[in-house]
Amino acid sequence: MAIAAGGWRSPIAGVLLIVGAGLPALEIVALGALVGSLPATIHAGFGSPAGHRTVQTLAAWGGLMLLLQIVPRIRAAIVTAMGWRLDSRLRQRTMAAVNRPWGIAHLEDPAIANLISQTGGIGVAGYTPGVAFNQLISVRVATTLSALASGALIIGYHWWAAVLLVGVLLVFGVVRARTFTRMTSAVVGQTTAVRRAEYFRNLALSASSAKDVRLLGIGDWIVGRLRAEWQSGLAERQTAEGWAFPLTLAGTVLVTVANGLVLVLLAHDAATGVISLGAMVVYLRAATGLGALAQSGQADSIIAHGAASIPAILELERLTAPPQGPPLAALPADAPARDICFDKVSFTYAGAATPVLKDLDLTIPAGQSMALVGVNGAGKTTLVKLLARLYDPTSGAVRVDGADLRDVDPKDWQRRIAAIFQDFLKYGLPARDNIGFGGLAMAGDQAALERAAAKAGVLERIQALPAGWDTPLSRHFTGGADLSGGEWQRIGLARALFAVEAGATVLILDEPTANLDIRAEAELYDRFLDMTRGLTTLLISHRFSTVRRADRICVLEDGAVLELGSHDELMARGGRYAEMFTLQSQRFLEAAEAPA
């Protein structure tokens, strides 16, 4: 992954890594030669051949010191850029994996939610793979190569001294790396608790929840729950840290004893004349450089935490990989309007015991408007989700002109649907994007955008914004503006109408006006029906009186069709629809006649 993200930077970083690893050893040798030449230079003077050699050695040592300042900085800049690119690639792969499935069932799976949480960075500090890669190359690999190159100089003193120091440090490094891996695994295993903690954190900091938190006086309670969840999530990590301390302490003592033994021998041999002053400087600096292997604990922790999200990304990609099988059929670009048939459809949400839809039979005729009405929980929105292939039926089939939707390319089918849901997205983006998302292929067609906005009754409002169509519809952005609830309803309606211009053939209005009064909702539904006459249109409401102009009305109850017909037919039948329509109309009349 890192090589792919690095491109041309990878070989340059490799060369600089090798060069940088050898520079400290060369600097140590040059310094030893410089110190070793000083006695002769002091005796003979700088004008002597010995003095000339000292000056040359000094120049060489100065050059190496300069390279030691330049090479690591260039390498660090390149490796940092590679880390940024790696993070960018992995974020793109994560987003692609999450958005790859045609439905949304996977987003309701706690296991998938845990994986998504892990891809954002593991641990309290949230280190990313790019940061881990940076630490791996710039600290761990660079330090190890440099230390080993410096340590190789000790072979010139005693081979066993080099073996002793390198062996002790490598064992110490392996133990420490395993300790950090265990700590990271403990955090990964507690992702659910960490996610709950993040929920309470967002609850305390979110502007959308601020009013309720303050009025209910639950701020301290939320902080207490946040603390409890964090402690629960980090309990295993704390256990792993408890084991890490004695192991690290024992390793540190062992490294200190080994280094102390070598340094005492060096001091003794230098004092007795066994090695020269210059040699002592070389071996002393080499032993000190080798000790750097024991000083990169923070880097090991960052590497362990940052790399832990990569398995989560790979597992997420595996779980969301498209199923194997023959390619699904694509709808013709000029496909005519088609009847939609729900053939004995049943559906149960994952983890639920009771089905939402039960052997439902229903045909939505092409080119007509149908209203779905019923009390909350009757299955209206679930039916729409199955129609849009956000889910597949548990049993039965949804057919379009006789073809099972499971045999049709879901993305192709979803492009044929324009929907305004009750919780439709209000993008904090320019108005042109909010409407243009209805049909990205023609989002640059300004005339089409204006036609859709005009039909929805929001064109003049958009043109009056500070930057017109380019005004962000959110005050969270500089130059942005917010809209009223009714204006947002019209933006959503314009988005659906723009989708029709882009080729959508099925329009859905799923209670986006539930927060409006009954008169305003009825006016919007009437407007919608007038503008979409001749198209296959599905209206959903729990208010019976707002959809009476639909060609056909379907009353859902307990996940099945209870009544089906036009408004007049259902009223004449005197059944459930007539009862609910009369009851709701009477309440509206009483409210209208009540004194102010």
Note the pLDDT tens digit of each residue in 239-256.
655 555 676 677 677 777
What CA–CA distances, in Å, run from 211 to 144, 205, 215, 423? Answer: 55, 11, 6, 20
Residue 361 has pLDDT above 90, yes or no: yes
- Can you read off the two tokens belonging to residue 514? 């539930």
Work out the pLDDT band at 509, boundaries 50, 70, 90.
confident
| Distance of alpha carbon 128 from alpha carbon 80, whole angstroms | 12
Specify the range with the lowest mean pLDDT, choosing from 17-31, 250-264, 307-321, 388-402: 250-264
Q: Which of 453, 488, 503 is the last residue of a domain?
A: 503
**pLDDT tens digits for range 175-218:** 776 776 666 666 666 667 767 777 788 788 877 777 777 777 78
Question: How would residue 357 be classed by pLDDT, with cut points 50, 70 and 90?
Answer: very high
pLDDT at residue 206, rounded to an integer: 77
Higher pLDDT among residues 517 and 277, named by residue: 277
Return the DSSP state at 471. Answer: -
The pLDDT, as a whole number, for residue 123 is: 44
**330 in a domain, yes or no?**
no
Alpha helices, DSSP H, located in 272-403: 277-290, 297-307, 309-319, 380-387
What's the average model confidence in pLDDT over 415-431?
84
Q: Is the predicted pLDDT of residue 294 greater than 70, yes or no?
A: no
Higher pLDDT residue, 7 or 82? Answer: 82
The CATH number of residue 475's host domain is: 3.40.50.300
Report H helices in 320-430: 380-387, 410-414
CATH code of 144's domain:
1.20.1560.10
Q: Is the residue at 325 inside a domain?
A: no
Nearest in space to 157 (alpha carbons), one of 264, 43, 47: 264
Model confidence at 396, pLDDT cuts 50, 70, 90, reads very high
Alpha carbon distance 355, 394 (integer Å): 9
Signed CA dihedral, 534, 331, 450, 461: sign only: positive
503, 531, 551: which is the final residue of a domain? 503
Domain boundary among 319, 344, 378: 319
Question: Closest Cα partner for 147 from 319, 286, 269, 2?
Answer: 286
User: Is residue 152, in this structure, part of any structural domain at all?
Assistant: yes
State how far the Cα of 470 lies from the Cα of 429, in Å rounded to an integer. Answer: 8
Share of the chain above pLDDT 70, in %: 84
- Is residue 177 one of the residues assigned to a domain? yes
User: Is the pLDDT reported for residue 103 higher than 80?
Assistant: yes
For residue 122, what is the DSSP state?
B
Phi-psi region for residue 165, left (φ > 0), alpha (ψ -120 to 50) or beta? alpha
**Within a domain: residue 421?**
no
pLDDT tens string 106-135: 888 888 888 887 776 544 456 788 888 888
Give the C-alpha distances (Å, rounded to integers) separating 295 from 169, 291, 298, 510: 10, 7, 8, 61
Instruction: Say which residue, 371 or 126, is predicted with more confidence.
Output: 371
User: Does position 436 have pLDDT exceeding 50, yes or no?
Assistant: yes
What is the Cα 343 distance to its own chain's centre? 38
Of 148, 533, 525, nearest to 371 (Cα)? 525
What pLDDT band is residue 347 in, cutting at 50, 70 and 90?
Answer: very high
133 and 55, same structural domain? yes
Asked if 81 and 43 touch (Cβ cutoff 8 Å), the reply is no
Q: How is the beta sheet containing 357-364 ordered, strand by strand?
A: 357-364, 340-347, 395-400, 403-404
Of residues 67 and 532, more confidence is placed in 67
| Integer Rg of the chain from CA | 36
Same domain? For 65 and 174 the reply is yes
The model's confidence at residue 5, banded by pLDDT at 50, 70 and 90, is: low
Residue 592 has pLDDT above 60, yes or no: no
Pair 542, 588 in one domain: yes
Is 355 inside a domain boundary? yes
Q: Is the pLDDT of residue 159 over 50?
A: yes
The angle, 0 to 180 degrees and rounded to 10, between the axes of the packed helices 191-205 and 110-119 is 80
pLDDT at 321 over 70: yes
12 within domain boundaries: yes
Instruction: Over range 305-330, report the average pLDDT.
Output: 78
Task: Say whether both 7 and 62 belong to one domain.
Answer: yes
Residue numbers of the domain that contains 490:
428-503
Query: What's the distance, Cα to Cα, between the start and end of the chain in Å?
Result: 69
**Do 384 and 510 lie in a common domain?**
yes
> Residues 59, 177: one domain?
yes
Residues 307 and 444 in one domain: no
Q: Within this chain, do residues 549 and 566 fall inside the same structural domain, yes or no?
A: yes
Same domain? 175 vs 279: yes
- pLDDT of the residue at 259: 77
Residues 180 and 197 in one domain: no
Residue 423 within a domain: no
Per the structure, how many domains does the chain have?
A: 4
Co-location of 257 and 163 in the same domain? yes
Residue 462 shares a structural domain with residue 596: no
